[in-house]
Chain A
Amino acid sequence: MSLDTRLRSVFNTVLELDKTVPDSALRYQETPGWDSLGAVLLISSIEDEFKVEIDTDRALKMDTFSGAAQLLRDLGVRD
C-alpha cells in the first residue's frame, strides 16, 4: 500500500471522513473533525501507523493532507 493510501486511511478513521472527499480538499480547521482535538488525535495515529516521532513544531504546522505526506517523507518513510 502506498504512503498516501495508508495516510488517507488514518485520516478516514480518525476524522470519520467521507471517502469521496479528495485528498487535496483536506485542510485543518476546514475539514469537519480536523479541529484542535482532531489534530492531536491525528498526529498520534499517524505516529502509530508509521512508527515515527513527530516533534511539536512539525505537528503544529501539519495543516494539509499533502503536508502530512511530505512530513512523513521527510522523516524517511518510503512510498
Chain B
Amino acid sequence: MNGSPTSQGMRESALLPQMVELIEHHRCACPVYARMLDAIGHSSGRRYAHTQELPWLPVRLFKEHALISTGREQVAVLTSSGTTGANVSRIALDRDAAEHQRALLTATLTTVLGPRRLPLLIIDSPSAVRRERSSIRGATVLGVMNVGREHVFALDGEQGIDATAVENFLQRHGHATFLIFGFTSLVWTRFYAFARSRGFDLANAILLHTGGWKKLADLAVSPREFRAGFLDATGLRRFHNFYGMVEQGGTIHIESASGDGFYCPDFADVIIRDPQTWEEAPVGTEGVIEVLSAAPRAHPGHVLLTEDRGVVHGIDDGEWPGKRFSVLGRLARAEPRGCADTLPETAYGARS
C-alpha cells in the first residue's frame, strides 16, 4: 500500500538495508540489545541476505526490561493495555520518536481515508486522551484524532453511551461521509446495540477499529459477524480494522475495504513463523506473528516476535501488493518469559 513497493519482493529488498542499518543503530545505542545480539550469534558485521534472517526480540522483553536507544530527553512513556502492572510494556519516546509515530500513523490512515479530515465520532470517553494519554489506548485515540475533525466522544466518563452526543453528531454529519473510530470491543459492546436499537443509518460511515479481539472472542463474535451485524442493522459497509502494538507505535497494519486481510505499510512487514522450527510458515499455515518495522529508533522494537497467532492468506494477490494476513488470537499458553536465560536460543532468531 501507500503506492510504493509494487511487489513483496520489492518491499523486502527495500526494507532489508533499512533494517540492517537499524540493527547497527540500536547495537550502538542500546548496550543491552548489543549484548543480546552477541549472545545469539548476531555480532557486528554479520551479513543478511533476507529479512527472515534478522534477529528478533520477543515482545515480552519490553514488559520486563527498559530497552532504550535514545540518550535524549524522554517526552512520554507509553504503556500497553495489559491488565496488571507487571504485564505492561513501557516504551520510552523522545520527541522525534513521538512525532515520527504521529506522522506514520497519520500517513497510513490517509491512504485509506484520503487527505480530508472527516467528522469523527469516537467510541470512547474524553478521559482517554486526557487522563490516560500515556496508555496505548489514549495515544491511539489521539493519533486517529489527527485524521478527524469536529470530534465527538460517544462515551461518558462511566463508559456508557452519551446518547445526546451521538444523536447530535449523526444529525449534523450523518448525511455525508464521516468517520467512526473505536476499540473493537467497545464498538461492539457499547455502540452496536445502541445503534441498532435507535435504527441509526450509518451508510455514510467509515468504521475504523482496532484491538480488542480477545474480548470479542470472549463474546463469541467473529469478524464476519461483526461486519454482518453492522451492515444489517445500520447499513454500515466500510470497515477498516487495524493491527498494531505499543512496541511498534505508529506502525499499523490496516485491513482493506474488502476485508481480505491486513496489509503492511511500506516501511514494515510481517513474517509468520512455525513455532516448532521458527522457519517462515507457508501461505495458509498458522503460526506466530513476527513484525518488522523501520520506524523504531528510540528503542529496539524494529523486529519483534509477538504473542499473537496469525496466518498469511496470500502474497501480491489482493487489493494491495504484499502479504495479506489475519490475526487469529493470542498464543494459547504463556509465551517465552522474555529473560535471556529462560528462552530457547532460537526464539531470539538465531539460526543454527
Contacts and interface: CB of A to CB of B under 8 A. Distances in A.
B291 interface: no
Contact of B99 (A29, A44, A56): A29
Nearest to A39: B146
Contacts of A55: 115-117
Nearest to B116: A55
Most buried by B among A36, A40, A54, A60: A36
A54 B129 contact: no
A56 B146 contact: yes
Contact of A36 (B98, B109, B116): B98
Contacts of B206: none
The size bracket of the interface on B is 20 to 34
Nearest to A36: B142
Nearest to A54: B117
Interface stretch (B8-16, B147-155, B261-269): B147-155
Contacts of A54: 117
Interface string B73-110: 00100000000000000000001001100110010011
Interface of B: 75, 95, 98-99, 102-103, 106, 109-110, 115-117, 129-130, 133, 142, 145-147, 149-151
17 contacts: A29-B95, A36-B98, A37-B129, A37-B133, A37-B142, A37-B145, A40-B142, A40-B145, A40-B151, A43-B117, A47-B149, A53-B116, A55-B117, A56-B106, A56-B109, A57-B115, A60-B106
Given A40-B145, A56-B115, 19 more contacts: A29-B75, A29-B95, A29-B99, A37-B129, A37-B133, A37-B145, A43-B117, A44-B150, A44-B151, A47-B149, A53-B116, A54-B117, A55-B116, A55-B117, A56-B106, A56-B116, A56-B117, A56-B146, A59-B146
